Chains A and B, each alone.
Chain A
């Protein structure tokens, strides 16, 4: 039977990552960014996710449920239960696998805690039908973060070294440190963890810099299909031909050429595929400067012929360019890796931690700007200002740098800017309960001991 040999453990860890793709292919973007309203509906329609993008979720349409996350948690729990019993030729390999499983479990609970608040904690795998063990109640948010932090600490203590031993499509010590920074920034800001959390975050993020990471000089190369696992990546969920299905980024491309398109637009689009459902909001669009190489690396504006002006001046919407996949045998496949952490993100988190501690974040931010503006950098140098000003700059920088990467909604909560920047919340400042997602009726119906999040319809 299974769980006897080192190869079984390896097969299982790949199984866990393969399952993780169900989390990353589109849900992570929906949970982490869609609600920030940095996008608006384009010429296509994505009615199934409309409530997410418009912040009108309710128990009936509650967005993706946590089932994909708990499947990964269960895979991690199986590994954590059985792998310690397996003998390995090299103990480091065993520790690496266990560290990765702890990191994965921590990440999944981190996603859940930020999305729904306190959730059910399973640290043992499900191995049969045992009603009294299966129908659990939710744990407190504090207990969830305790588990997350414990798992991170265990993982970091288990990693053999500070390198990408098993590659950048799996967890590693630098990647787990990025997660640690992310978690402690969250608890520092959202759960009143204060300076001790910020220091912990800063230390973890700083430790990453001694590993093999760098900013690529060409922004768009970070995301290319043929440049997977480049040195800017800390951890990305791997997608590839003949192995996985498309990521959700097909929703932001285009299925047809627009009517009477500008000639260069047809060229940029190349092979169309799927839908043009969501495009940049006017506010987001205005934030990208033409001097910023991240603009072309992130999206492309489509124009069509306007008979009135005789020019290609009719704006038709944007298609995303970051995760536009690969064209193989005449068809486009959205199979770019979904990036969980990359070095630019780390630098901006570091700046955020520094600023929170009252330190000057310029160095970190300017590394980002140098790459972004290239020869125009001198016009865009960041200068240390007040703590609030710096925060705003960091938040904006994160939008420009990490657009489409599933971070914005959580950034807004962390920086406490939801009610200032998100149109729905500007209009409905009373809807504080909506920072957490509702729990869907399908979950409430199958998990009777689960309580709805306050504010949402109970059943």
Chain B
């Protein structure tokens, strides 16, 4: 069976030799009489004709032809022969011609990684000869989900790349961290570099995914060293589509997306809320009698002082003849648990369903491509209109992408590209709306009796419908990139490739707050308006001289080039107060200018680079590169840096001894690389020289304050990476495996270092210490069914693990040169020790908190427990229902030294699975991804058990809280505003119950798609039609209780939506 497959593969290479294969002529002549004429059409899965595909008669390599510009062919062939259809990059097919003369063939793309052409820095290379660690995105991922930010497609698809959706606001960019990031203080901010069509950028926002041809990720230093100063955190290279010669092809795609909140907080109903609130307020009142007054108040969970007028934000009140009609209007009632002779009435509002909605989004994209052999073009136009799952939020984007290539002379070609996007969005004025707004008590009034929106307790705790109605935001951005370039073949093998580009991003943001009720007694008419305008202009130039030469078995490629990267940011913003009307949201209506500011900053990065690759018989591969970079923002004497990279590869399978194995059973390439890259992403443009800030005022005078300490010694942050890799293909590459192990050491980290507060500074930016990231990446791709099968089933899996360790810190006279940390009991030592913070040999992001051992079942049990010194008040008595904290040093006292390790903030294991099934025109794909190892303090979870604001909704867990002597449970007795009570859940405690693992497995995508068969298409005069149904972000398998397990810093953010998508793609 293997042999059969081998044959098919061999055939791929045969057409290349057709022209030379003259010796078969005689056999053709002999069989002349039995021949018949066949014809046909060869297309790809998108029903686009394939031009230049090879059709040859099996076992008669001399008899063949290629398809024309329409993908058509004719061939005369023996009656019962078999033809082989092949094209580079596609899987070959074998077809018997018996009894048929017309053939329509759809070629499947060959996705095997070993054969890819890979874009490397300033050039391309075959995957065969790659010696560094480069991953390419499987483009299937881009087909089905209209990502408002295409970076989301990278989730779980590239080993070693952590992609987290930190905000579900449509259009917002995910957090992308490659191989753990190279930052000692905030590994979450070590974002990679983006190179889009050769243009360096800092994100890939506002790009239409339909315009994307390929996305690749350069991970090791040898591959990114060519980007020198910018390469430390990895490089994402994106190529957009360009024209193809041949018949003009037109494609239209449409997606309809329905999105909804995928997770919600589990909260008490109004009845339970009122019951427990009254008891909780009473409980806290027993500790702090001043608070008992609240029980009669209009604030919090008070019941007596309320009425139906606009003077009360809560609906909770005692039943009276004046208000009993509300019971007929849906209000509810219960006896007051503190005085059952009275009845409390209230309404029940579900603020989660008020803030969230089903968002509907439309995504259109239209592409035309075509050209002659002299000139080609591609035009892509996209329009995307998205509603967020939170009311009032949206995102709209128009994109245009045009490219044209022209052969000017025989040796000269030129190209130009225009990429443009226009984006506007509305966002919530603060992410706190997803905490305070979602956590409104259900008894809060939504509307007053007269139908107007209720304003809430005060604006910070306003009904979300009201607070969103008060803000009038408008955000716009234009992003324009112009690229021109060319290619001159000077002499055979020597090519000169210059490229100029200009990127300009302008953005305008305005917000206006209408007059509003801050609570019921304060009508704020300040009508704050603010607006900002910013322009980022980045001219870039790079030029490459490339020389390739093959002498016998030696292949040599030399490249040298230079790169200029300028960045200019000019911005201003202003704010004003006192407009006379809510109708004019712009600054011109403001009576009082309250602040103005502006800034202009400039930065230049200049680099010279070169690369040499050499291979012997395609068996031994060597690749070396060198870059010399200068940056304007570094210290006086350290502006320039040298970044070398070297890598080696060995095709073991091409050695003679490998022939002992069956041919193509195992393909094996070993790789090794070492490189040095730089990083200055953590450095502001003027930080080295120090900064004085003049944004403050004193008594109307401009106040100048030193804000950044100068440090002229600032130099390049350096990453040195050693990478070993194995590329393996098994069973004629039915299974592909890529494995990488790396160790990266980041020295001279540009870090904001905590200063001793007595210096008058909280921090300074400096080259500080070194950090090691060590890890492995494993990717597997399996084609379960034979290449020839109608039924195809692919499975892929990847996993990556990174370990981060602090190697060195500057000496400061303390053990391990520690900075910060916690002084806690160490059971192993039997003594106290400093843990966490930054210390040599330690990890970044360690979290410490107090471990909840149990809930005291009775007062007696509580009295026997340790003394809790965390409670601020003098009386520290505990009762049944309070938490029994771990006294780790067993000294009978709970204090800060009893904290224990709670986990690490940063996930360290990421990966994904995907499977793809296809039978004829029907396909099903499923993608999942996972992230493990992170821990997050789930603040909201504590909040809805401890009611810290005094007026938020409560968790359903309260139902099983401790309520009477002897209760055994893990949920403490409910105290209103626990910070005033026993700190059972209060944040300053940091209870182990809320340090939750964010480990998750996400069912990211399920897509069912169907391509119409060609016989139907012909009737409809179409060349292709594909329909698909997709579910995206369908489910998180996780124990994390918050809304978004992808978070790794704060649990308050715009939640990630679940989406259902219907899509359609038509080719004309």
Please determine whether A134 and B755 come into contact, CB atoms closer than 8 angstroms.
yes
- Which of B710, B761, B814 has the largest number of chain A CB atoms within 10 A? B761
Q: Is the CB of A259 closer than 8 A to any CB of chain B?
A: yes
Q: Which residue of A21, A255, A329, A445 contacts B577 across the interface (Cβ within 8 Å)? A: A329
Please determine whether B872 and A122 come into contact, CB atoms closer than 8 angstroms.
no
Residue of B nearest to A40 (CB): B290
Distance between Cα atoms of A204 and B834 in the complex (Å): 49
Distance between Cα atoms of A362 and B402 in the complex (Å): 91
Q: Which residue of B578, B710, B756 contacts A447 across the interface (Cβ within 8 Å)? A: B756
Q: Which residue of A17, A41, A257, A330 contacts B698 across the interface (Cβ within 8 Å)? A: A17
Complex contacts, A256 vs chain B, CB 8 Å: 297-299, 457, 519, 521
Q: Is the CB of A65 closer than 8 A to any CB of chain B?
A: yes
Please determine whether B709 and A272 come into contact, CB atoms closer than 8 angstroms.
no
Please determine whether A242 and B709 come into contact, CB atoms closer than 8 angstroms.
no
Chain A: interface size category = 35 or more
Q: Is the CB of B336 closer than 8 A to any CB of chain A?
A: no
Q: Is the CB of A455 closer than 8 A to any CB of chain B?
A: no
Please determine whether A446 and B290 come into contact, CB atoms closer than 8 angstroms.
no
Complex contacts, B814 vs chain A, CB 8 Å: 448
Binds B, one of A6-14, A23-31, A142-150, A411-419: A6-14
Distance between Cα atoms of A12 and B753 in the complex (Å): 25
Complex contacts, B709 vs chain A, CB 8 Å: 126-129
> B-side binding surface: helix, strand, loop or mixed?
loop
Complex contacts, A159 vs chain B, CB 8 Å: none
Please determine whether B522 and A330 come into contact, CB atoms closer than 8 angstroms.
yes
CB distance from B619 to the nearest CB of A (A): 52
Complex contacts, A255 vs chain B, CB 8 Å: 299, 458, 519
CB distance from B720 to the nearest CB of A (A): 24
Please determine whether B812 and A131 come into contact, CB atoms closer than 8 angstroms.
yes
Complex contacts, B705 vs chain A, CB 8 Å: 12, 15-16, 18-19, 75
Distance between Cα atoms of A120 and B757 in the complex (Å): 11
Distance between Cα atoms of A449 and B813 in the complex (Å): 9
Q: Is the CB of A74 closer than 8 A to any CB of chain B?
A: yes
Q: Is the CB of B823 closer than 8 A to any CB of chain A?
A: yes
Distance between Cα atoms of A240 and B592 in the complex (Å): 14
Q: Which residue of B293, B519, B704, B710 contacts A11 across the interface (Cβ within 8 Å)? A: B704
Complex contacts, B980 vs chain A, CB 8 Å: 45, 47
Q: Is the CB of B762 closer than 8 A to any CB of chain A?
A: yes
Complex contacts, B702 vs chain A, CB 8 Å: 11, 14
Instruction: Please count the residue pairs between chain A and chain B whose beta carbons lie under 8 angstroms apart in the complex.
Output: 226
Residue of B nearest to A337 (CB): B699
Distance between Cα atoms of A258 and B810 in the complex (Å): 57
Please determine whether B704 and A70 come into contact, CB atoms closer than 8 angstroms.
no
Please determine whether B821 and A443 come into contact, CB atoms closer than 8 angstroms.
no
Binds B, one of A48-56, A175-183, A290-298, A388-396: A48-56
Distance between Cα atoms of A444 and B595 in the complex (Å): 38
Complex contacts, B304 vs chain A, CB 8 Å: 259
Please determine whether A271 and B522 come into contact, CB atoms closer than 8 angstroms.
yes
Q: Is the CB of B760 closer than 8 A to any CB of chain A?
A: yes
- Which of B294, B305, B577 has the largest number of chain A CB atoms within 10 A? B305
Distance between Cα atoms of A446 and B838 in the complex (Å): 11
Distance between Cα atoms of A65 and B837 in the complex (Å): 19
Residue of B nearest to A169 (CB): B699
Q: Which residue of A47, A128, A258, A445 contacts B872 across the interface (Cβ within 8 Å)? A: A47
Q: Is the CB of B484 closer than 8 A to any CB of chain A?
A: no
Distance between Cα atoms of A65 and B521 in the complex (Å): 36
Distance between Cα atoms of A155 and B950 in the complex (Å): 50
Please determine whether A329 and B526 come into contact, CB atoms closer than 8 angstroms.
yes
Please determine whether A120 and B704 come into contact, CB atoms closer than 8 angstroms.
no
Q: Is the CB of A61 closer than 8 A to any CB of chain B?
A: yes
Q: Which residue of B524, B812, B820, B986 contacts A330 across the interface (Cβ within 8 Å)? A: B524
Complex contacts, A19 vs chain B, CB 8 Å: 705
Q: Which residue of B592, B694, B822 contacts A242 across the interface (Cβ within 8 Å)? A: B592
Q: A57-78: which have CB < 8 Å to B?
A: 58-61, 65-67, 70-75, 77-78
Mask for A111-137, Cβ within 8 A of B = 1, else 0? 000000001101001111101001110
Please determine whether A441 and B698 come into contact, CB atoms closer than 8 angstroms.
no
Q: Is the CB of B895 closer than 8 A to any CB of chain A?
A: yes
Distance between Cα atoms of A14 and B897 in the complex (Å): 43
Q: Is the CB of A459 closer than 8 A to any CB of chain B?
A: yes
Please determine whether A134 and B759 come into contact, CB atoms closer than 8 angstroms.
yes
Distance between Cα atoms of A21 and B705 in the complex (Å): 13
Mask for B158-193, Cβ within 8 A of A = 1, else 0? 000000000000000000000000000000000000
Q: Which residue of A60, A73, A272 contacts B522 across the interface (Cβ within 8 Å)? A: A272
Q: Which residue of A128, A266, A272, A447 contacts B519 across the interface (Cβ within 8 Å)? A: A272
Q: List chain B positions with a Cβ less than 8 A from chain A.
A: 288, 290-291, 293-294, 296-299, 302, 304-305, 311, 457-458, 515, 518-519, 521-527, 577-578, 592, 594-595, 689, 692, 694, 696-706, 709-711, 753-762, 764, 766, 810-814, 818-823, 832, 834, 837, 869-870, 872-874, 895-897, 950, 977, 979-980, 986, 988
A-B contact pairs, 21 of them (CB 8 A): A2-B704, A21-B698, A43-B290, A43-B297, A45-B291, A45-B980, A56-B873, A70-B760, A127-B709, A127-B710, A134-B759, A135-B756, A136-B758, A243-B698, A256-B521, A317-B290, A329-B526, A329-B578, A330-B525, A445-B834, A449-B813
Would you list the 7 A-B pairs with minimal beta carbon distance, nearest first? A74-B760, A259-B305, A11-B704, A67-B757, A15-B705, A14-B703, A18-B703
Q: A128-B709, A131-B811, A459-B823 are in contact. List 16 more A-B contacts (CB 8 A).
A: A15-B703, A15-B705, A47-B872, A56-B874, A58-B895, A70-B760, A78-B706, A119-B758, A129-B753, A129-B755, A242-B595, A243-B698, A329-B578, A330-B523, A446-B819, A448-B813
